[in-house]
Chain A
Amino acid sequence: NAGVTQTPKFQVLKTGQSMTLQCAQDMNHEYMSWYRQDPGMGLRLIHYSVGAGITDQGEVPNGYNVSRSTTEDFPLRLLSAAPSQTSVYFCASGRTPDTQYFGPGTRLTVL
């Protein structure tokens, strides 16, 4: 199993650009989530999904969209990037939220 994969590993955007961070898992996990981690801070939940077709907002959803059309994929879309979205983004999946595996992360810089 590849586990949880994220692409790209690094990305630089200009303010106002849009992009999609990709996340995929091959463990048939129902639960998937996106977090951001800023320096000196823990992980903050952006959006999560308990199965295909079902998503909900976390603590910091503004400026981000998600969809879950398949069990395997859970992309995160930045609609109009802002410097405040400079962060490291982690995707995670698990059979339950209590048993999540984290992907390697995407480091995003917005200029």
Chain B
Amino acid sequence: EDKVVQSPLSLVVHEGDTVTLNCSYEVTNFRSLLWYKQEKKAPTFLFMLTSSGIEKKSGRLSSILDKKELFSILNITATQTGDSAVYLCAGSVIKAAGNKLTFGGGTRVLVKP
């Protein structure tokens, strides 16, 4: 059974702090690892990672994948209150009927002023 586990479950930081979120996965026929940000409504796409060791960056957010150890981290530097959200990671796996995503339980981040 495909499994994606995120840690920590939640954390509270102050503006300006750096946050590191973890995602480990055990899936068969791995294709890619995805990160999403979910505020009040629908998840929005952040990153897709397919290769080990190559960091992807978008502003203050960055992410990297380790396919040998089966995990990914998402870093947020110089956090702002607008970074408060649930961050979801998902493993994309190749199935006969078409690829599908398996999501982790999410990490809730609260950034205090």
Residues of A within 8 A of B (CB): 31, 33, 35, 40-45, 48, 50, 54, 56, 58-59, 90, 96-105
Contact = CB atoms under 8 A, between A and B. Distances in A.
Interface residues of B, number: 25
Contacts of B6: 42
Interface in B75-113: 88, 90, 92, 95, 97-106
Interface of B: 4, 6, 31-32, 34, 41-45, 48, 88, 90, 92, 95, 97-106
A98 B88 contact: no
Max chain B Cβ within 10 angstroms of own Cβ: one of A42, A48, A54, A59: A42
A99 B48 contact: yes
B41 A104 contact: yes
A102 B42 CA distance: 6
A41 B98 contact: no
